[in-house]
Amino acid sequence: MSGFINYGTQSFDSDFSFLNSNQPWYQQSVAGVSINVPIFSSFGRKAAQDRTKIAWDQAETDLQRTMEEIRLNYATAVNNYQTAIDNYTTSKDNLALAERIENKNTIKFREGIATSFDLRQAQTQLYSTQAEYLNSMYQVITEKANLETILNVPNYTTKN
């Protein structure tokens, strides 16, 4: 809505006699109000509402997808951590078995019952099992760190 007022005076004379007091002056004035009411908005408002609804639905879909990704990452991290612990336990048992075999072969070798090849094979198996044991320890630490990262657990390494 807007309004306007216009006022003016004119002298319809062919000579320049603006300072003559007997000169006739003709006055006019105009006043008005303008109102702009959109009768047909070409469905602009409806289109804007539809775009807003689509954006809202897309944001909800993105939220659900992100939540599912987080759940999946968490489940994967927990499973990997549990597998690493199981592998560690198995490699620890294997290490104890390899140590017993190596000790028995050492005794057999000293007594002359086993050959140096048998002793060397038992020692190689022991070293391989030790490497697997250390690797399983590393995997447990790595998977625990991955799980803590997903859970956003702060890692405090220094004490205040």
Identify the pLDDT of residue 156.
Answer: 60
pLDDT tens-place string over residues 43-93: 777 888 999 999 999 999 999 999 999 999 999 999 999 999 999 999 999
pLDDT tens-place string over residues 22-47: 777 778 888 888 888 777 666 777 88
Q: How far apart are CA 146 and CA 151, in angstroms?
A: 9
Read off the pLDDT of each residue in 1-9 and give the average, rounded to a whole number: 86
Q: Domain residue spans in the chain?
A: 70-151
pLDDT tens-place string over residues 118-159: 999 999 999 999 999 999 999 999 999 999 998 887 666 655
Give the range among 14-18, 27-31, 33-37, 101-105 with minimum mean pLDDT. 14-18
Three-state SS at 158:
coil
Report the 10 Å Cβ neighbour count for 98: 22
Query: Tokens 């968490």 belong to which residue?
Result: 74
Q: Residues 6 or more apart from 26 whose CB is under 8 A from it?
A: 9, 10, 11, 12
Identify the pLDDT of residue 1.
Answer: 81
Q: How far apart are CA 123 and CA 5, in angstroms?
A: 109
Helix then strand count (H, E) for the chain reads 2, 2
In 3D space, the residue among 103, 141, 108 whose CA is nearest the CA of residue 123 turns out to be 103
Provide the phi-psi class of 42: left if phi over 0, else alpha when psi is between -120 and 50, else beta: left
Three-state SS at 152:
coil
Identify the pLDDT of residue 60.
Answer: 97
Check: CB of residue 102 under 8 Å from CB of residue 123.
Answer: yes
Q: Rounded to two decimals, what is the model's pTM?
A: 0.61
Type of residue numbered 67: M
Read off the pLDDT of each residue in 87-113 and give the average, rounded to a whole number: 95
